[in-house]
């Protein structure tokens, strides 16, 4: 079991993390994580150069595990989607970092999982527990849990049932946030329609919905839109042609309301959306055409 001083630092790390996530809109920068937090007058980092990280002030068990977008390891989820998979450090199952993570599994020590969405940005998942070990595949099985489990003794359900449910939610959150961060970065964090640059007011909109064939969560199937234009796009107030021209619904063009309608919708008719500089990140014309056909077909354009 973990000594009391290390356990106290671990709990302080979880508390600090919750504050940071509330301030930062879910994802955290690498610099924030490397800076860490102050505990009894000394700095405690929560990430390091290696993926399996233990700060000096914690005696034995790791505090965090990290997946980067440019790292050598292919972390993913299991076939059933109930758990996350995390690769060993290197190929030696008895390497000290792998051994300590295995011991954290044995002793049910809670960890933090930092999942890289884009370079330098991380989605914080906490607490997580190592629940399986596969030396042949050189990877661990990881389950997410909720913060309530850290603070109170739970008797509502079996750990595996609760953690399986929470982990499925986490996987969805990973996919959604990764897609959002990649799309917004490609568009330099601005709305492709109105050029608004406040990231908290921006969404990553699918061109082809993710539930449809061709609706993969890739940048070329996404648009960076402010929340108003995202709602208007999904609500068929306007469509976007394959040449990136915007077409506003005729009835909207003839409405009379306030300045938001005039400047936010009517004046964008016929304009072109802003697209990423890299060609591979630009909206796929075939997907745009498919979406526009649905828009124009319903309006008999």
Residue 83: its pLDDT value, please? 84
Lowest-confidence segment of 142-146, 246-250, 275-279, 297-301 by average pLDDT? 297-301
Residue 290: its pLDDT value, please? 95
Q: Which fold would CATH assign to domain 4-183?
A: PUA domain-like (2.30.280)
> 155: pLDDT confidence band, cut at 50, 70 and 90?
low
> 32: pLDDT confidence band, cut at 50, 70 and 90?
very high
Overall average pLDDT of the 46-70 stretch: 91
pLDDT digits (tens, 9 = 90+) for 83-142: 899 999 999 999 999 999 999 999 999 999 999 999 999 999 999 999 999 999 999 999
pLDDT digits (tens, 9 = 90+) for 226-248: 999 999 999 999 999 999 999 99
Residue 78: its pLDDT value, please? 58
The chain-wide mean pLDDT, for the chain, equals 89
Per-domain residue ranges of the chain: 4-183, 189-299
Overall average pLDDT of the 36-48 stretch: 94
SS3 readout for the chain = CCCHHHHHHHHHHHHHHHHHHHHHCCEEEHHHHHHCEEECCEEECCCCCCCEECCCCCCCCCCEEEECCCCCCCCCECCCCCCEEEECCCCCCCCHHHHHHHHHHHCCCCEEEEEEEECCEEEEEEEEEEEEEECCCCEEEEEECCCHHHHCCCCCCCHHHHHHHHHHHHHHHHHHHHHHHHHHHHCCCCCCCCCCCCHHHEEEEECCCCCCCCCCCCHHHEEEEEHHHHHHHHCCCEEECCCCEEEECHHHHCCCCCHHHHHHCHHHCCCECCCCCCHHHCCCHHHHHHHHHHHHHHHCC
């Amino acid at each position: 079991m973990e000594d009391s001083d290390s356990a106290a630092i671990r709990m302080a790390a979880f508390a600090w993390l919750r504050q940071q996530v509330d301030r930062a809109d879910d994802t955290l920068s690498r610099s924030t994580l490397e800076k860490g937090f102050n505990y009894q007058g000394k700095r405690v980092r929560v990430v390091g150069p290696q993926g399996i990280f233990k700060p000096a002030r914690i005696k034995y068990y790791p505090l965090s595990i990290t997946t980067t977008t440019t790292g050598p390891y292919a972390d993913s989820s299991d076939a059933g989607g109930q758990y996350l998979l995390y690769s060993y450090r290197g190929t030696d199952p008895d390497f000290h970092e792998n051994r300590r993570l295995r011991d954290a599994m044995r002793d049910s020590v809670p960890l933090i999982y930092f999942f890289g969405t884009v370079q330098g940005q991380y989605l914080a998942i906490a607490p997580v527990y190592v629940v399986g070990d596969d030396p042949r595949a050189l990877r661990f099985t990881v389950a997410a849990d909720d913060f309530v489990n850290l603070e109170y003794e739970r008797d509502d359900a079996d750990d595996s049932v609760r953690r399986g449910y929470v982990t499925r939610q986490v996987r969805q959150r990973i996919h959604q946030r990764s897609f959002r961060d990649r799309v917004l970065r490609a568009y330099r964090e601005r709305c492709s329609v109105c050029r608004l640059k406040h990231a908290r007011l921006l969404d990553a909109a699918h061109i082809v919905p993710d539930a449809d064939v061709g609706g993969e969560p890739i940048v070329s199937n996404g648009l960076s839109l402010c929340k108003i234009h995202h709602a208007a796009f999904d609500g068929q107030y306007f469509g976007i042609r394959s040449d990136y021209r915007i077409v506003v619904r005729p009835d909207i063009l003839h409405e009379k309301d306030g300045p938001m309608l005039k400047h936010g919708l009517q004046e964008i008719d016929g304009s072109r959306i802003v697209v990423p500089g890299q060609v591979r990140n630009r909206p796929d014309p075939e997907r745009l055409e498919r979406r526009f056909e649905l828009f124009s077909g319903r309006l008999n354009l």
